[in-house]
Structure 1
Amino acid sequence: MSLHFGEENYAIIDTKQSVITWKGSNLVGSNSHTGYIYISQGELIVKNGQLMGGKAEVDMNTIEDEDHGKDNTLVNHLKDPDFFDVKKFPFSTIVLDKATSINGENKKVKGKLTIKGITHPVSFPAKIEVKDEIVKMSGKLVIDRTKWDVRYKSGKFYALLADQTISDSIAFDIKIVAKK
């Protein structure tokens, strides 16, 4: 049985069950890296069983590689100014403005993503389920990292990189569980 909220309700993000999986790759060849990053706090706003908005804060210090390595060459480089400059910008945020229905639980979510103090609008497909005071959201957001001043080995800014060029696209698989 689904719970239908009559009023706006805030569901607090369960940071233990929520995770963002990231993937970056070279433009040429099959070299890619995958890992995880974690939400430090946030909430989803639900009204009448529908996602109306929300906000999640991501702790950039939690970047890990796919083997859950937290202190290695790759992870340390991602924390450097070349990439996310975590000392200067320890948190990124995503603010969800609205979710419009595509069909059933499939929605198009619009919002604003802030990385390195730079904010841009984003939209992505997501599956959203509201049931028994639990909100589950899973979606895939693909961004052009250069819009957030992450330019390291980008073909847009560096010539003659050849097979060293890193794709400007970063994919984030977002899994959020929130509880009322």
Structure 2
Amino acid sequence: MNNKLLISFLLLSTSLFFSCHGPVKEEKNNASANPITLHVGDEKYVTIDTKQSVATWKGANSFGSHTGYVYISKGELKLENNQLVSGTAEIDMNTLEDEKYGRNNGLIKHLKSPDFFDVKNFPTATIELTKVAIVNGENIKITGNLTIKGITRPVTFPAKITFKDGDVNINSKLIIDRTDWGIRYKSKKFLENLADQTISDSIEFDIKVVAKK
């Protein structure tokens, strides 16, 4: 091979080498400069303020009705993009009290007995929020699992939610059939000839929850 042919061959080889490897190096640089980013929603948890949160209960019998309170011992709510998505709360059943006479009276002692909530064996009740649907404005519909006396049943109930300065306020009304949780004392569903001694199967709860960041 003469010198001119050898020089031409070397120039051609060098040109092919850089043309094949140049773009690969540029592609790597571009990949480093523009990494793939996975977007994660604005997720945070807020703690339920047990001093400001309370459930007001109402039960009735043939002679009238009783109203009282029971308190949340702990809980938290999960927010995503400033919307409630889930949460949990534990209710201290030992805090049951009557609106007029407090905690140390015959009614409350009976409610804590095995006839009703059997608080000695089941000192807490829990609710787990599993789904929250926006109805309109501040109105939402909550679905969750309510556990009383070790029995878990699904519940759905309306609520109103507001956000202010990072705090969350929820006001809701939950009505349950106590017999779904094994509380059958003087229920006309299971006992006959009770006459005027029946106790309503429905228990109403007006629940106020305040949670803070």
Asked if these proteins are the same fold (TM beyond 0.5), I'd say: yes
Q: Larger radius of gyration, structure 1 or 2?
A: 2
CA shift at 1:52, angstroms?
A: 0.5
Q: What's the C-alpha RMSD, in Å, of the aligned pairs?
A: 1.0
Match of 1:137 in 2: 170
Q: Which residue of 2 aligns with 1:20?
A: 55
Aligned-pair CA distance for 1:68: 5.4
Q: Which moved more, 1:125-134 or 1:36-45?
A: 125-134
- Matched residue of 2:209: which SS? strand
Gapped runs of 5+ residues in structure 1? 1-5
* CA distance in structure 1 between the partners assigned to 2:91 and 2:100 by the alignment: 20
Asked which structure has the greater RCO (Cα within 8 Å, sep 6+), the reply is 1
Residue pairs, 1:71-150, within 5 angstroms: 71-150=104-183
Match of 2:195 in 1: 162
Within the candidate set 24, 31, 45, 1:10 is matched to 45
Summarize deviations over 1:51-70 as a string: whole Å, max 9, x none. Answer: 00000000000000012511
1:7 Cα deviation from its structure 2 partner: 1.9
Among the aligned pairs, what percent are the same residue?
65
In structure 1, what is the Cα distance between the partners aligned to 2:164 and 2:133? 18
Comparing both structures, which one devotes a greater share of its residues to strand? 1
* 1:148-172 deviation line (CA, Å, top 9, x unaligned): 0011110011111111111100000
Instruction: Write out per-residue CA displacement over residues 117-138 of structure 1, whole angstroms, 9 at most, x where no aligned residue.
Output: 0000000000011221100000
- Partner Cα separation in structure 1 for residue 101 and residue 196 of structure 2: 27
| d(CA) in 1 for partners of 2:141, 2:205 | 15
Match of 1:34 among 67, 75, 81: 67
Does residue 66 of structure 1 match 2:99? yes
Q: Which amino acid aligns with 2:80?
A: K
Give TM-score scaled by structure 2 length.
0.79
Match of 1:3 in 2: none
